[in-house]
């Protein structure tokens, strides 16, 4: 090979070597800024995650167990907490939890609403009281209506023509105030007696079965919660966990963070906001 050619090849290799870290940097910047408007983060208990911090307090959340490629964390006492550390501000977070439920009736996930207060907005992950009923079921989007004796064909029919005097149990559903005037109303919890109930109305979707595990999700509009330095505290609640002597196995926590994607239209305003935060933070 001629010497001039060798020099040319070395020059090309040098250019490629310079391009590689530049491309990696652009990739990292795009990921951190979430230009696409979406960032997915996960904690699988095998490896620490910079975004989803370990469960606490210790003693309630037991030591992580690692069997071959299968890692999980048993939870023995309720509730347990974890932090979501976002790289920057997002508008919404969909939290997916993969777990093994040995038979707890209700599993819920909540996000902290106010600073220094034990105030969590709980959302259902699994409700076996609802799932186990063989009542007539009508589902529209995430709202489900269960009827002991079928009378209504749609949920809007039920809301428009209330069955006066009947007992309606609600769960994760905001009832209109007039319900309380015409119906016997009760909020569903693990102690609710469903034998004398006629209807159940809930905002709830059953978990998906994935082998021996279940996967469920809950959505949180982040402006409604207490987020400090892009950090949000979550609580996992499993009523009756303490007395049962059993444990809930957590297999994976996956969070899909979303915000408005970067476009030509909002580029200038976003850049201005970013520079403002850097200068005045």
Partner 1 sequence: MISSTNSANKNQIIRIISGAKRICKIRNRMTNESQLKYALRILISDIFKISLGTFIVYFLLEQMKGGFISNYLNLNFLLIFCIISGIITAALHKEREQEEKRELKLRDYLVIFFLTIITAIVVFFEIRDLGWISYFISFGAAVIIILISDALLRE
Give me Rg for the CA atoms of the chain: 25
Nearer to partner 1, 164 or 281 (CB): 281
Using the CB atoms, write b or e for 260-269: b if 16+ within 10 Å: eebeeeeeee
Stretch that binds partner 1, among 26-34, 151-159, 188-196, 253-261 (CB under 8 A): 26-34
**275, two tokens:** 């520079």
Closer to partner 1 by Cβ: residue 28 or 271: 28
CB nearer to partner 1: give 25 or 271.
25
In DSSP terms, which residues pair with 67 in a beta bridge? 70
Q: State the binding string over 83-102 for partner 1 (x if CB under 8 A, else -).
A: --x-x---------------
CA atoms within 13 A on the CB side of 181: 3
Shortest distance (Å) from residue 25 CB to partner 1: 7
Residues 6+ apart with CB under 8 A from 234: 81, 82, 83, 84, 95, 109, 110, 111, 112
As a whole number of angstroms, the distance between CA 2 and CA 183 comes to 94
Q: Does 50 bind partner 1 (CB under 8 A)?
A: yes
1 near partner 1, rule: CB under 8 A: yes
Question: Does residue 268 interact with partner 1 by CB under 8 A?
Answer: no
Residue 26 binds partner 1 (CB under 8 A): no
Structure tokens at 234: 């979550």
Q: Residue 109, by phi and psi: left (phi above 0), alpha (psi -120 to 50) or beta?
A: beta
Q: Which stretch, 10-18, 52-60, 152-160, 215-223, contacts partner 1 (CB under 8 A)? A: 10-18
Residue 25 found at the interface with partner 1 (CB under 8 A) = yes
Among 8, 12, 23, 28, binds partner 1 (CB under 8 A): 28
Q: Which DSSP string do the residues of 208-242 spell out, in sequence order?
A: EEETTEEEEEEEEEGGGS-EETTEEEEEEE-TTHH
For position 279 contacting partner 1 by CB under 8 A, the verdict is no
24: contact with partner 1 by CB under 8 A: yes
Query: At closest approach, how far in Å is the CB of 57 from partner 1?
Result: 24
- Residue among 10, 23, 46, 190 that touches partner 1 (CB under 8 A): 10
How many other C-beta atoms lie within 10 A of the C-beta of residue 271? Answer: 11
Q: Contact with partner 1 (CB under 8 A): which of 34, 43, 45, 51? A: 51
Among the listed ranges 24-32, 93-101, 239-247, 262-270, the one in contact with partner 1 (CB under 8 A) is: 24-32
How many whole angstroms separate alpha carbon 12 and alpha carbon 19?
Answer: 11
Among 8, 31, 65, 137, which residue interacts with partner 1 (rule: CB under 8 A)?
A: 31
Residue 277 as a binder of partner 1 (CB under 8 A): the answer is: no
């Amino acid at each position: 090979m001629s010497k001039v050619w060798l020099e040319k090849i070395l020059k090309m290799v040098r250019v490629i070597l310079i391009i590689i870290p530049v491309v990696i940097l652009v990739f990292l910047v795009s990921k951190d800024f979430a230009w696409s408007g979406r960032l997915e983060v996960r904690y699988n208990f095998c490896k620490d995650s910079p975004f989803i911090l370990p469960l606490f307090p210790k003693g309630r959340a037991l030591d992580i167990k690692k069997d071959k490629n299968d890692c999980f964390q048993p939870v023995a006492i309720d509730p347990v907490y974890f932090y979501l550390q976002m790289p920057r501000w997002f508008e919404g977070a969909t939290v997916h939890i993969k777990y093994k439920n040995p038979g707890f009736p209700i599993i819920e996930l909540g996000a902290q609403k106010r600073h220094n207060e034990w105030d969590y907005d709980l959302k259902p992950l699994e409700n076996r009281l609802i799932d186990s009923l063989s009542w007539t079921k009508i589902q529209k989007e995430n709202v489900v209506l269960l009827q002991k004796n079928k009378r209504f064909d749609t949920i809007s029919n039920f809301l428009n023509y209330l069955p006066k005097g009947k007992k309606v149990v609600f769960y994760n559903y905001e009832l209109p105030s007039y319900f309380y005037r015409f119906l016997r109303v009760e909020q569903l919890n693990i102690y609710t007696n469903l034998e004398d109930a006629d209807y159940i109305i809930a905002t709830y979707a059953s978990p998906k079965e994935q082998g021996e595990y279940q996967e469920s999700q809950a959505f949180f509009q982040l402006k409604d919660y207490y987020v400090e330095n892009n950090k949000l505290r979550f609580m996992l609640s499993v009523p009756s966990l303490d007395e049962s002597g059993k444990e809930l196995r957590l297999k994976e926590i996956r969070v899909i963070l979303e915000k408005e994607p970067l476009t030509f239209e909002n580029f200038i305003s976003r850049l201005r906001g970013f520079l403002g935060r850097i200068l005045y933070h």
